[in-house]
Amino acid sequence: MQTHGPTTGGATNMNTGGGGTTTHGPTTGGATHATDGGITHGNTGATHATDGGITHGANAGGAHTTSHLTGGGGGPHTATGGIAPKGSNTHVAKSGAAITRRPGGKVSDVHDPKRGMDVHHGLNGNRSIHVERPDHSRIYGERGRPGYVQRPYSYHGRDFGRRSYYYHGHEYSRFYRGYGYRGLHLDVYAPGVYFAPGFYGWAYNPWAVPISFGWGWGGAPWFGYYGGYFAPYPVYPSAAFWLTDYLVAQDLQAAYAAHQEAGEVDGAQSSAGSGGPALTPDVKQEIADEVKGQLALENQEAQQNAAQQDTDPGSSGIARMLADGHKHVFVVGSALDVTDSSQAECALSDGDVLALTSPPPADATTADLLVLASKGGNECAKSNTVTVQLTDLQEMQNHMRELIDQGLQELQSKQGQGGIPQAPPSAQSQPAPAQYAEIAPPQDPNVQTEVQQQTQQADQAETDVSTDTAQDSTTPDTSTTPATTPPTN
C-alpha cells in the first residue's frame, strides 16, 4: 500500500465479472466503514450508495454468499476498502468486522471496527496498519518504514492535517489539505514552506551548460542491488533532471531499507543482468517532464501564499490531473498491491513508474494506469494496465511533491558547489513558511509510542476478527471463485 496505509472504507461489494466472493453474517446494525465504494451494514432497508456501493439492511438467518454489481466504486472491495482481486474471499461478521483471504486461504486484509483499525498483508511479505480514531486523528505503521500520527486542524474554515513522522529516531512533519472529491476524502500535499519565485525559475529553466554531478552512490548497497533497474544521468541540463534522479534514488533507498529491515521482497534481482536499466531514458524523460509541471504548480502556489491567498486543493491534487487532458506520470512511493486488467493481484514497489493516459469515468473512484517501469518478479509487468484507487493515486502525487521539495532544499544548499550552478541573487532568499503551517498544532511528541502500541494491538485485532467472522458463519468459508448468479438487491 502507499505510505498512508490501506484506504479506510467499506469492503464487501462484489460483482459477477471475476471479483472475489463475500460471505455476510446476520447484521444487526453498527458497522459503517463505507465511504468510497464499499458497503455500509446497518438495520435499515437495502439502498444503493451514491458511489456505486450497496447499503445492507438487517439480514435474517446465517451466513450467505452474495454478489453485487457496483458502479463508480471500481468493482468488488476487500475488507479494508481495497480492490478485490479475482478469487479472493471476504467474510463480514455481524459486528462489522471483516476479513479477506487470497486464493489459497492466506489473509490479505482485516477490518476491526472496534479498534478503528485496518490491517493489510502485502504481496511483498510486509504488514501495514491504519487506525482512524474517534477524533479523526490517524495512526499508520509499517515495519521498516516511517510511521506517523496525523492530527486534523482548521485554517480559514478549511480542513488541514499535520502528519508527525518517526523513523529511526528522526522526527519530521508534513502538511495536507483535506479535499472532497467524487465522494472520497483526499489529503492533498501542502508544502510547509515556499521558495522565492526566482528559485523556482532557476529550477525550472535549463542551466547555461549541462553539468555533471557526483552522487557518491558507487559503494552503497542499495545502488548495487538496483543496478539492473536504475542508472543516474551522466549529465544534467536542468534541475528537473537532477530532481528526477534524486527522487527515484530516494524511493529505491527506502525500498532497500524495508527489504533489509522487514524482509520485503520485490523484483529487483529479476532485472539484474537484463542488458540495461529497466528504467529507460524515455521513461526518465517523462518523469522529468512531470517534475517540471510540479515546479510550475508550486511556483503558482508560492505566489498565492505570498499574497495571503488560499491555494486550491483541487488544482494542487489529482483532480486537476484527471481533468486537464494531459498524460501524467506517477512514481510509486511505497509498496502497493493492485489488480491488473484480468483482476489478478500484482505488486508495485518504490520507484516503479505508472502513466495515466486517459481520465477515468466521471463517477469512478479508481483509475487505470499503464505500467511504464517495474522490477519484475511478482511485480506488475511492464506494459500492463493496473487499477489504482484515487486515494492511493493522490498519495503517489503527494509523495512525489514531497521529494521534489526535499530535493529543492538540497539544491538550494548545494548551489554553487559540486558542479551545481550558482543560483541568481533572486533565488537565494530563505523559504517562506506557509501560513497554514505556522498555525498548525505542534509536532506530536509520542509518535513512536503510539505507532508501536497500535502495531502490537494489530496482532490481537487479527485474532479477534478471525474469531468473530468464523463464529458468525454457518457455512464453510471456502469459496475462492466469483459467483455466477445474477445479483439481487
Asked whether residue 421 falls in the same domain as residue 299, the answer is yes
Please report which confidence band the pLDDT of residue 250 belongs to, taking 50, 70 and 90 as the band edges: very high
Asked whether residue 38 falls in the same domain as residue 72, the answer is yes
Please report which confidence band the pLDDT of residue 70 belongs to, taking 50, 70 and 90 as the band edges: very low
What string of H, E and C letters represents the secondary structure of the chain? CCCCCCCCCCCCCCCCCCCCEEEECCCCCCCCCCCCCCEEECCCCCEECCCCCEEECCCCCCCEEECCCCCCCCCCECCCCCECCCCCEEEECCCCCEEEECCCCCEEEEEECCCCEEEEECCCCCEEEEEECCCCCEEEEECCCCEEEEEEEEECCEEEEEEEEEECCEEEEEEEEEEEECCEEEEEEECCEECCHHHHHHHHCEEEEEECCCCCCCCCHHHHHCCCCCCCCCCEEEHHHHHHHHHHHHHHHHHHHHHHHHCCCCCHHHHCCCCCCCCCHHHHHHHHHHHHHHHHHHHHHHHHHHCCCCCCHHHHCHHHHHHCCCCEEEECCCCEEEEECCCCEEEECCCCEEEECCCCCCCCCEEEEEEEECCCCCECCCCCEEEEEHHHHHHHHHHHHHHHHHHHHHHHHHCCCCCCCCCCHHHCCCCEECHHHHCCCCCCCCHHHHHHHHHHHHHHHHHHHHHHHHHHCCCCCCCCCCCCCCCCC
Whether the predicted pLDDT of 265 surpasses 70: yes
Query: pLDDT tens digits for 306-349?
Result: 998 998 888 889 999 999 999 999 999 999 999 999 999 999 99
Q: Is residue 11 part of a domain?
A: no
Question: Which pLDDT value is given to residue 8?
Answer: 36
Q: Is residue 9 part of a domain?
A: no
- CA torsion sign for 347, 388, 482, 484 is negative
Question: Which pLDDT value is given to residue 411?
Answer: 96
Please state, as a whole number, how many other Cβ atoms lie within 10 Å of the Cβ of residue 231.
16
Q: Is residue 439 part of a domain?
A: no
Please report which confidence band the pLDDT of residue 55 belongs to, taking 50, 70 and 90 as the band edges: very low
Whether the predicted pLDDT of 50 surpasses 80: no
Question: Which pLDDT value is given to residue 327?
Answer: 96
Best CA proximity match to 190, nearest among 44, 298, 30: 298
Question: Which pLDDT value is given to residue 378?
Answer: 86
Question: Which pLDDT value is given to residue 133?
Answer: 94
Q: Is residue 488 part of a domain?
A: no
Asked whether residue 296 falls in the same domain as residue 386, the answer is yes
- Which three cell numbers mark 321? 490531473
Interstrand relation of 89-92 and 328-331 (parallel, antiparallel or unpaired) = unpaired
Per-residue buried b or exposed e for 374-383, using 16+ beta carbons within 10 Å of the residue's own CB: bbbbbbbebe
- Alpha carbon distance 241, 235 (integer Å): 9
Question: Which pLDDT value is given to residue 312?
Answer: 87
Mean pLDDT of 110-121: 97
For residues 322 and 356, the answer to whether their CB atoms sit within 8 Å is yes
Mean pLDDT of 253-281: 82
- Domain range for 322 is 193-433
Q: Is residue 212 part of a domain?
A: yes
Query: pLDDT tens digits for 341-397?
Result: 999 999 999 999 999 999 999 999 999 999 999 998 889 999 999 999 999 999 999
Q: Is residue 373 part of a domain?
A: yes
For residues 147 and 165, the answer to whether their CB atoms sit within 8 Å is yes
Asked whether residue 121 falls in the same domain as residue 207, the answer is no
Q: Is residue 40 part of a domain?
A: yes
Q: Is residue 4 part of a domain?
A: no
Please report which confidence band the pLDDT of residue 222 belongs to, taking 50, 70 and 90 as the band edges: very high
Asked whether residue 250 falls in the same domain as residue 384, the answer is yes
Q: What percent of the chain has pLDDT over 90?
A: 72
Whether the predicted pLDDT of 107 surpasses 70: yes
How many domains, the chain? 2
Q: Cβ contacts of residue 245 below 8 Å, gap of 6+?
A: 215, 232, 233, 236, 284
Question: Which pLDDT value is given to residue 86?
Answer: 94
Question: Which pLDDT value is given to residue 66?
Answer: 28
For residues 330 and 356, the answer to whether their CB atoms sit within 8 Å is yes
Question: Which pLDDT value is given to residue 28?
Answer: 35
Asked whether residue 107 falls in the same domain as residue 213, the answer is no
Please state, as a whole number, how many other Cβ atoms lie within 10 Å of the Cβ of residue 459.
12
Beta bridge partners of 354: 330, 371
Asked whether residue 152 falls in the same domain as residue 268, the answer is no
Asked whether residue 170 falls in the same domain as residue 27, the answer is yes
Name the one residue in this structure whose C-alpha cell is 479523526.
136
Asked whether residue 33 falls in the same domain as residue 149, the answer is yes
For residues 62 and 99, the answer to whether their CB atoms sit within 8 Å is no
Choose between 334 and 474: higher pLDDT. 334
Asked whether residue 326 falls in the same domain as residue 425, the answer is yes
Asked whether residue 349 falls in the same domain as residue 460, the answer is no
Asked whether residue 148 falls in the same domain as residue 235, the answer is no
Query: pLDDT tens digits for 167-204?
Result: 999 999 999 999 999 999 999 999 999 999 999 999 99
Question: Which pLDDT value is given to residue 27?
Answer: 36
Mean pLDDT of 407-419: 95
